[in-house]
Structure 1
Amino acid sequence: MGPDGPVGRLPAAQAGNGDRGMRAGLSLTWKIALLAILTLVMLTVVLLIFAGVQFRISPENFIVAPTLNRVLSVSGELAQDLGETPVESRAELLEQLSKQYDVDFYLVDGNGNSLTRTPAALPKEIVDEIGQRFRNGGPRPAPRRAIFRATTGSPTRYWVSVPIRWRTADTSGLTSGYLVVMSDSFIGNQFFFDPKPWLALTLALTIVFVGVWLPLIRSLTGAITEMTHATSRIAEGQFDTRLEIRRGDEVGQLASSINRMTTTLAGFVKGQKRFLADIAHELCAPIARMQMALGILEQRADDKSIEYVADVKDDVQHMSELIDELLSFSKAGMQIAETDIVRVEVADIVQRVLERESPPGAQIQASVMKGIAVLANPDYLFRAISNLVRNAIRYAGSAGPISVSAHSEGQETVITVADSGPGLPENSLEEVFAPFFRLEPSRGRDTGGAGLGLAIVKACVEACKGSVRAHNRQPSGLEVEIRLRTA
């Protein structure tokens, strides 16, 4: 089948080159979301730096301060319980606290010795720290200044110590000591690090982020997606496409510009087709007169001139065929909006095509069941199938049989015209439907027509709200598929 879409339209292969050249990247939604998150992180860092410089607040305090508050709270409650608990029961009291908070509690004096019946095996650096603070004056009334934190390793242990005083029933004075808390994990328990406030803060920030940014993101991406789909339809020649985006910002201005561009393009294409149609129509009468004159001249020419007259007659006939194709192409393209779509029996159309387009010696096999019907314009469908069969006969008629078939696929019906010829180069399978496309740049008369045959097919099929595509067969041949809505 030979290499014969509408004027003013890029071939699909060329139109798609830009898309294939673009590298896939992050979507605009993700870019805006990541930018918002990055802004939030940077704002947090700036606030922490400002708090550290202006108020001498270390970022560490946001994590450590709750831990120290919990230690002080527990030490206050423990001081009351120790006043009512005998020495032999202190170990049980600390054990209950350990189970409750999932950490280890120790009660020691200034030398690191246990104040319970259970020995306290504290690391040397912890004992030394307690001893140093005790020698500096022991536990003081302001407990925060006496709190210390430490980390020992292998394995890593986390320690917090706070001075504690309690009054016992058998003494009139105060008993002093240190409450030491140890954990083998800083985040593995709720005593050293309680994740609930941070999770609540994260959830709150997420809700605020989604509530503030999501409407903006969806508004932008929704409008851009709509414009992308619209411009794709415009690139396919659907110049009646309009964007219904009513916005007062730059996105709305872009949508308005696209609508104006579409209107302008539609005018250009329509004017171009009308110009071609007018030229072809005006040439019909002169061509007819030339043919009549050549017929008369042929009768009067002598044997020496008859050959030259025949050559001129062939040229005029070729011009007449080209003008007929131009008229057919222009008519199909200009009347798309006013095409009547009705139920059409595919078998009847194919039968008419075979009766008209089957020259002597052509092998054409039709396989179309009765009852298969599509929604189309019968004249346009007839013209499309006729052009496909005619092209197949012209370019591949001697290579083997030509088949015409139809079958249903869901809500569509596929009409196929296939041959056994050499096929087409893969990079020409899309361009072949462009008007005036020829594989041979020389555009010689012996290698094909005007390059409008398949362009007319595409215009007729699109006028019927369908689509057409071509692909090579294996091991050889070309197959063209027309897809129309099933009736």
Structure 2
Amino acid sequence: MKFSLRPPDTIGWRIALTVGSAIVGVLLLSVVFNHFAGVWARPSVEETALLGRANDIILMVEAVPDSYRQPVASASRIPTTSVDWYPANSPTAAVLATAPRTSHADAELTQWFAANGHPRTVLLFRSDDGLSGRLPRYDRTRDPHAYFMAAGLSDGSWLVFTATRRAWGLPRPAQIAIALGFVALSILAASVVATYYLSKPLRRFADDLRRFGGDPRSGPVREAGPRELRAAIAAFNALQAQLRKFVEDRTAMLAAMSHDLRTPLTKIRLRGEFIEDDDQRERLFRDVDDLQAMADSALSFFRDDYKDEEATVFDFAGLLRTIADDYSDQGKPVFYAGPERFAFSGRPFSFRRACANLVDNALKYGNRAELELKCSATQIHLKVIDHGPGIPSYALEKVFAPFYRLEQSRNRSTGGMGLGLTSARAVIQAHGGDISLNNRQGGGLEVNVTLPAMS
């Protein structure tokens, strides 16, 4: 029996690895934060036992006579901290006694000492505070960035703790808020990155499906991603192959029927030459011509010749200007408004036929065609406007169906076999675009064509 240490490539394993990677990433980021965050990540002054040691020193100094207080204070040992005692009748004690107690930290430490059974006034200040200049034993040149805590003793004297380096962090509430914010941002960043890679195969599958929707004859979808997704893609490819085979068989059958109709139509025309009644002969020939036109249109449509054309980059605005100029040379009112040039990747001959179909419809049923082209970095918007009667709202979508004709204004006598809009929509959708019809205010029809711009 063969064992493999490689985990199975399934969606469940990918989710587990994604969640695990996100957790490991957050932990690593937390370690980096704690290493480089400085005082933000250090324990608060209450958690470092500095206050307890300072309280012991205060009680010890307070218990000895005045002549021993400074030696006892100087002999006290707290890392990176020196202790000095100032008598009650000294100028320094007078300044500290009258200093304002407005700091929130002052109030918190005062309450802490009171809660531990030794109420006293406590002041906190830094080297950039004016109080530091009133301490005769503080050397600013040696320790320019120092922290001070002054505690008042029961006899009016003061004990000043001078820390040359901050060995404690922010208050606990501030630390919790910062830590929660950092963890939330870390989880969000790790989740976004992990989810991006987890959903990458699904996005690729969706892109392939859109490509298939634009061109049903496109090749099979790439089988990539986790096992379940590969199985779904394989099933879709099998279904796609069956549908393509079904459509190709039906298309070949209809194309063959349209082609084979030419022979009996030719025979009918030859036999019609022997009809002596001129009126009946002309009617017969007219019906044969209609049938021949329908067969030719159907054959051209079923062949889908536009899909055999190679895509290339061409000037879409120039193509529309050329169409307008060609019709104008024939004396037909076709006008173009838009940019002089705009590059587009597609099948130029197919687009020319599709746009010509739209212009022909506008001229036949609206007596005038106005082409308006607007382009942006992401989308192309083309309007074909006529000034005819429009079409009923219920038929705005039906007219795209093969061989569909409106009986009143758009019937066989005015031309067309009902395949112009069908063919135009097929060409436009094959390029990832869409087409829709709208009746204009005041009369006329507006054809809206949207296409993705070339990236």
Q: Give the structure-2-normalised TM-score.
A: 0.54
Change (3 A) 1:420 1:199: same
Match of 2:200 among 215, 219, 222: 222
In 2: Cα distance, 1:453 partner to 1:105 partner = 85
Q: Deviations over 1:364-409 (max 9, x none)?
A: 345599x969777665355334433432344334xxx344677987
Match of 1:75 among 55, 61, 82: 55
Aligned to 1:274: 252
Change (3 A) 1:462 1:339: farther
In 1: Cα distance, 2:250 partner to 2:96 partner = 97
| Identical-residue share of aligned pairs (%) | 22
Match of 1:300 among 266, 276, 294: 276
SS at match of 1:420: coil
Match of 2:213 among 235, 238, 243: 235
Check conservation: 2:324, 2:336, Cα contact below 8 A. Answer: no
Aligned to 1:162: 116
Unaligned runs of 5+ in 1: 1-28, 41-62, 108-148, 150-157, 166-174, 177-189
Matches within 5 A, 1:170-189: none
Matches within 5 A, 1:366-405: 366=335, 379-397=349-367, 401-403=368-370
Check conservation: 2:400, 2:422, Cα contact below 8 A. Answer: yes
In 2: Cα distance, 1:161 partner to 1:283 partner = 107
Q: Deviations over 1:326-381 (max 9, x none)?
A: 11212235x514447586864555565678xx7xxx85345599x96977766535
Q: Deviations over 1:130-169 (max 9, x none)?
A: xxxxxxxxxxxxxxxxxxx9xxxxxxxx99611359xxxx
Tell me which amino acid in the other structure corresponds to 1:419: D
Matches within 5 A, 1:67-106: 72-82=52-62, 83=64, 84=69, 102-104=105-107
In 2: Cα distance, 1:429 partner to 1:236 partner = 21
Counterpart check, 1:454 vs 2:431: no
Aligned to 2:301: 329
- Larger displacement relative to structure 2 (231-240 or 90-99): 90-99
Tell me which amino acid in the other structure corresponds to 2:420: G
Aligned to 1:142: none
Structure 1 residue 203, shift from structure 2 partner: 5.9
Change (3 A) 1:92 1:431: farther
Structure 1 residue 479, shift from structure 2 partner: 3.5
In 1: Cα distance, 2:225 partner to 2:377 partner = 39
Check conservation: 1:243, 1:259, Cα contact below 8 A. Answer: yes
Aligned to 2:226: 248
Q: Deviations over 1:229-260 (max 9, x none)?
A: 43334333354266556223433433444444
Tell me which amino acid in the other structure corresponds to 1:380: S
Structure 1 residue 459, shift from structure 2 partner: 3.5
Tell me which amino acid in the other structure corresponds to 2:59: A
Check conservation: 1:405, 1:417, Cα contact below 8 A. Answer: yes
Structure 1 residue 200, shift from structure 2 partner: 6.0
Matches within 5 A, 1:324-363: 324-332=296-304, 335-339=306-310, 341=312, 346=319, 349=323, 363=332
Q: Give the structure-1-normalised TM-score.
A: 0.51
Aligned to 1:418: 385
Tell me which amino acid in the other structure corresponds to 2:273: I
Q: Deviations over 1:44-99 (max 9, x none)?
A: xxxxxxxxxxxxxxxxxxx9995796764553343234353667899988999978
Aligned to 2:143: none
Aligned to 2:161: none
Check conservation: 1:329, 1:459, Cα contact below 8 A. Answer: no
Structure 1 residue 454, shift from structure 2 partner: 1.0
Change (3 A) 1:81 1:284: farther
Check conservation: 1:366, 1:403, Cα contact below 8 A. Answer: yes
In 2: Cα distance, 1:324 partner to 1:457 partner = 17
Matches within 5 A, 1:120-135: none
RMSD: 5.5
- Larger displacement relative to structure 2 (95-104 or 236-245): 95-104
Match of 1:317 among 289, 295, 300: 289
Match of 1:286 among 235, 252, 264: 264
Check conservation: 2:373, 2:383, Cα contact below 8 A. Answer: yes
Structure 1 residue 477, shift from structure 2 partner: 1.4
In 2: Cα distance, 1:214 partner to 1:388 partner = 46
Check conservation: 2:214, 2:432, Cα contact below 8 A. Answer: no
SS at match of 2:261: helix
Q: Deviations over 1:437-471 (max 9, x none)?
A: 55679x975798543111122344567x5856344
SS at match of 2:307: coil
Check conservation: 2:362, 2:386, Cα contact below 8 A. Answer: yes
Change (3 A) 1:434 1:96: farther
In 2: Cα distance, 1:274 partner to 1:74 partner = 97
Aligned to 1:121: none
Tell me which amino acid in the other structure corresponds to 2:435: R
Tell me which amino acid in the other structure corresponds to 1:331: R
Structure 1 residue 285, shift from structure 2 partner: 1.6
Aligned to 1:478: 445
Check conservation: 1:328, 1:456, Cα contact below 8 A. Answer: no
SS at match of 1:247: coil
- Larger displacement relative to structure 2 (273-282 or 468-477): 468-477
SS at match of 2:115: strand
